[in-house]
Structure 1
């Protein structure tokens, strides 16, 4: 009877871990999906030059950051509790691997999906960064054109010879 008493808490404990990890991964997946959608919209606005819409993304981004921070805090709490119980607590993946094989199958898939979505988020963020950098370069060039009246400044001097075509290769220069 004492064996059954010790087995039941272990089973409910592993089920508890399975449920808690599953809930965390579900929340994370939802936030990641929302963030991917937002980054796509933002990229489209940047590419279309609709800069007035960018301010509207700020509020949504802040809300998503708060949700991601909440997922991070839950992850840290979960791993801390696992560490206190002597379970592997280096990552959600290592904690999942510590569960019985019958209970970790769906979780392993969810962990891998979260990892893939995280990598996709990195790619989308990098793409948006590149679009913003190109926009800044373009705007900088436009400002320079406006400031100089469209005239190019001589590269090697201000003499008349520097402004004439072929000045570097002509013998007369």
Structure 2
């Protein structure tokens, strides 16, 4: 009888030891992977290193090119609306993004005689909630020449695109909300 009890307890002790050891290894790995904030000198050094790369050189050339200046001017025109998160009246000019775009779902819009990419990102199609599905359907009902009101927290640019990129946070058509980005979880 004692032999049976020892035979049952021995595997239990071995498995418990392995589980405990595995937990310790994971805790150590998690502590090592947590990066401390970089110092100002480290940030400046990495920026200096990046500035000498071919991508950085192409970016700097783009910034001073006529295309880059046009994109920056377009951003400047809507900057006060972005900062204040106020309404911008826009007209839908195209239902697809420029060829080769990797911004997810979006449309082209015109605000104050300037063209913009209005991007909703890839996350719109990835959500499973009924609200996201309904919003996606409503966005797909947009037509060329529709008048919409946009509110956004950010506008960006990339040398690949000839237009500033507005992140669609809130879209309204005919006084009805057709899209409202869900607030990020655990963010600020």
**TM-score normalised by length of structure 2:** 0.27
* Larger helix fraction of residues: 1
* Larger strand fraction of residues: 2
Q: Which entry has the higher C-alpha Rg, 1 or 2? A: 1
